Amino acid sequence: MKPPYQTNQKILVLVSSISEKIGEFNATHITRPSPELRKRNRIKTIAASLSIEGNSFGEEEITAILANKKVLGPPKDIKEVQNAIAAYDQILEFKPGNLKSFLNAHKILMQSLIDKPGKLRTKQVGILKGDVVKHVAPPAKNLNQLMNNLFKYINSHDEIALIKSCVAHYEIEFIHPFMDGNGRMGRLWQTVILSNRYTIFEYLPFETIIKNQQATYYKVLEECDKAGDSTVFIEFILTAIDKALDQLLAIQVKPLTTKDRFEHFLSTTKDKQFTRKDYLRVFKDISTATASRDLKYATEKNLVTKTGDRRNTSYQIKKSF
């Protein structure tokens, strides 16, 4: 069964806005930002997602842990960060529509934090706010069917990936398949789905927007639970993604240098040997003279080895930046 939600005008407008911004990234060849920005944004993502769950560490401590430096703090918080780093490092290895891969991601994310990480819960659970029960998860006996249905939906081709990722995020929160770690898994798996479709989402810290509106995030989840429909949640998350893209575009859109272009080329090719024609296939809007200057730069910097002459010239990649 398709999860319950409506594709309304607001959602379509947001999808259109996000798609245009993704197109802007693609047109300017910045789908893979600089290594420094990618690292910084990954740290922001981990800090925001764990902060929502009560982790005490901020970006400074997470940066230190990433650099294998000693950090003082609760062992549990340190382990949560280490696990999140390991999980987000494997974003592109997880298979969005594969339940086994989903369970493996939870095992990595929650290793040494709970009993039997990567296993569906076998007990009834609920979410308390103070003394009030805010959400009663479906019975454990229904989990296999619910999760199989969800992954059939994720694998379907009848919905836009942006919307599908939001629905999957909400359904993971609603179904609550694990004893703990459901919130961070919902956010992680949305990133997995989107990264599989759009490279930029591997590094887009939209979780920061969610963290800054954490009260609204929980309120929207409650509203959707009561309505039995995830439409409002889809609107909320797409708005967060749209804002995160605005922020990234504001700092990232600038003329590309020779170094920028060649670094991007290296990130898009799997072949060790290439020609100027191959280079121009990636950068359709530059002249052959500019391409030649870029490749001369790469040769002089000992990044490639040039062989042949004129039309028979080819380049062998020696190392990346």
3-class state of residue 315 by DSSP: strand
Whether 177 and 28 share a structural domain:
yes
- CA-based nearest residue to 154, from 169, 143, 164: 164
My answer on whether 21 and 141 are in the same domain is: yes
Range of the domain at 313: 258-317
Q: Write the CATH number for 305.
A: 1.10.10
Strand order of the β-sheet with 304-307 is: 273-274, 314-317, 304-307
Asked whether residue 144 is domain-assigned, the answer is: yes
pLDDT in tens, the chain (321 residues): 789 999 999 999 999 999 999 988 776 655 556 667 778 889 999 999 999 999 999 999 999 999 999 999 999 999 999 999 999 999 989 999 999 999 999 999 999 999 999 999 999 987 777 777 777 889 999 999 999 999 999 999 889 999 999 999 999 999 999 999 999 999 999 999 999 999 889 888 899 999 999 999 999 999 999 999 999 999 999 999 999 999 888 776 566 788 878 887 887 777 789 999 999 988 877 889 999 999 999 999 999 999 988 888 999 998 654
**Residue 23 CB contacts under 8 Å (≥ 6 apart), including other chains:** none
Helix %, strand %, coil % of the chain (to 5) = 60, 5, 30
* 3-class secondary-structure state, position 237: helix
Picking from 64, 41, 79, 65, the residue whose alpha carbon sits closest to that of residue 180 is: 79
DSSP one-letter code for 131: T
**Structural Rg of the chain based on CA atoms:** 22
- 64 and 119 belong to one structural domain: yes
Residue 272 falls inside a structural domain? yes
The answer to whether position 221 is within a domain reads yes
* Cα–Cα distance, 112 to 24 (Å, whole number): 42
